[in-house]
Amino acid sequence: MTNANILTLPLYCMHRNTFMNCKIHQMQDRIKSRRETQQKHQKGTRLQHVLDHQLFCFGGLRCRIVNGGNSFSAWPWQVSIQRSEGVHFCGGTLINKNWILTAAHCSVQAGYHQVVLGEHDRGSNDEAVQIKKIAKVIVHPRFNKKNFNNDVALLRLSSPAQITSRVSPVNLVSSSTNIPSGTLCVTTGWGRTATGQGPRILQETTLPIVSTAECKQYWGLTRSITDSMICAGGSGSSSCQGDSGGPLVCDSKGVWYQVGIVSWGTKECLVNAPGVYSRVSFLRQWIDDTVSSVYTLH
């Protein structure tokens, strides 16, 4: 941290014992002031709701992914990828009625695995879920198992999803989108929580995008951060095992865009370590090409 940065830190940072806490409080101030400006203009809008949620859940301060909380927004693109006996092992997202985006390292197999759409509470039998078989799995041809470079795969559903209020596709960021570090985004999943158990209810947490430079500082000596990766977190919450393949989404003017795919991080899901996500903008061309070329085969 430079002197200039120290000077701009709010007074309460002097009392906080860790830099992480300080960062969390700084972020909260930013959300608060953004929310206040917003309130004057557009009460009750989607963006207002997003900011309320960020204030409530940021950094896992009040919510209990690790240090996230039960999701209370609708994330209609979130899917659970399960073994045939119904055991969840990875997340994914619906990107159009026929295709699921997930992580290559989830090693999804067309014959054995299935996709569950419209799920929120894994323990409930009353949800109008859609269970789909997988017709085809296409792993990125340059996926590298050793360093998780290009950790992306596409799953073609054996029959199209029915689009409802509970099941609908997410927008992907364009190839040219660059999300500035510090932007607050959200990741969701049924992965491990702080209590170790896989949760019943879909969890969510708000976390900041971390610059590649800062992320390399953390990971540089042990793992490489490539162009196909984007980092987020390190501010009190983390995605964890079982969240892989799921989304990192950022809102822009009340519309959510998928920016990342949960890929890797510390084994223990340390909440002060940046997590690594596949960078959707970098992989977008491959996603579009793959989806359109396979469409023309049918």
Catalytic residues: 105, 151, 244
Which strand (E) or helix (H) includes residue 236? Answer: none
Least distance in angstroms from the C-beta of 274 to ligand ARG? 9
**Which residue, 291, 289, 282, 288, is CA-closest to 176?**
282
Least distance in angstroms from the C-beta of 241 to ligand ARG? 4
Output 76 or 233, the one with its CB closest to ligand ARG.
233
Separation CA 160–CA 94 (nearest Å): 11
DSSP state of 58: G
Separation CA 161–CA 118 (nearest Å): 10
Size of the site for ligand ARG (CB under 6 A): 14
Output 98 or 205, the one with its CB closest to ligand ARG.
205
Least distance in angstroms from the C-beta of 148 to ligand ARG? 8
Output 31 or 151, the one with its CB closest to ligand ARG.
151
Q: Which stretch binds ligand ARG (CB under 6 A): 5-13, 43-51, 216-224, 238-246?
A: 238-246
Separation CA 116–CA 256 (nearest Å): 21
Q: Burial code of 104-119, b = ≥16 C-beta within 10 A, e = fewer?
A: bbbebeeeebbbbbbb
Least distance in angstroms from the C-beta of 239 to ligand ARG? 4
Residue 170 in contact with residue 78, Cβ under 8 Å? no
Binding pattern for the stretch 261-280 against ligand ARG, x by CB under 6 A and - elsewhere: -x-xxx--x-----x-----
Pairing of strands 88-96, 99-102: antiparallel
| Contact between 240 and ligand ARG per CB under 6 A | yes
Touching ligand ARG, residues 242-261 (CB under 6 A): 242-244
| Contact between 51 and ligand ARG per CB under 6 A | no
Touching ligand ARG, residues 177-236 (CB under 6 A): 191
3-state secondary structure of 3: helix
The full DSSP string for 44-83 is T-HHHHHHHHHHHHGGGSS---BS-EE--S--TTEEEEEE
Least distance in angstroms from the C-beta of 265 to ligand ARG? 2
Give me the residues that bind ligand ARG (CB under 6 A), please: 191, 238-244, 262, 264-266, 269, 275
